[in-house]
Amino acid sequence: MTTFEVKDMTCGHCVSTITKAVKDVDQGAKVQIDLATHRVTIDPTEADAAGLSDAITRAGYTPVAVEAAVECVAAKAAPARGGGCCG
């Protein structure tokens, strides 16, 4: 599971562009996008994090890899999202 924060993803069009870009490099990947938090979570089948990051960059966006620890902080900041990693 790889998570990116993509700040310049702002609307449904961006969501479909990014989803398509990811599927172009990894057809079987599961892509979950939360527009409100600008998070793109990818469950890849063949591409690695660098390849996925590349694909999103080529689509015209700026992905920033999110570490598990950062995810934890974000979950605490927004409890409605209920992050499992923070207990």
Q: Residues interacting with Cu ion, by CB under 5 A?
A: 10-11, 13-14
Nearer to Cu ion, 11 or 80 (CB): 11
Measured distance CA(28)–CA(80) in Å, rounded: 29
Dihedrals phi, psi of 4, to nearest 5 degrees: -120, 150
- Min separation Cβ 86 and Cu ion, Å: 30
Measured distance CA(62)–CA(40) in Å, rounded: 11
- Min separation Cβ 84 and Cu ion, Å: 29
Nearer to Cu ion, 19 or 49 (CB): 19
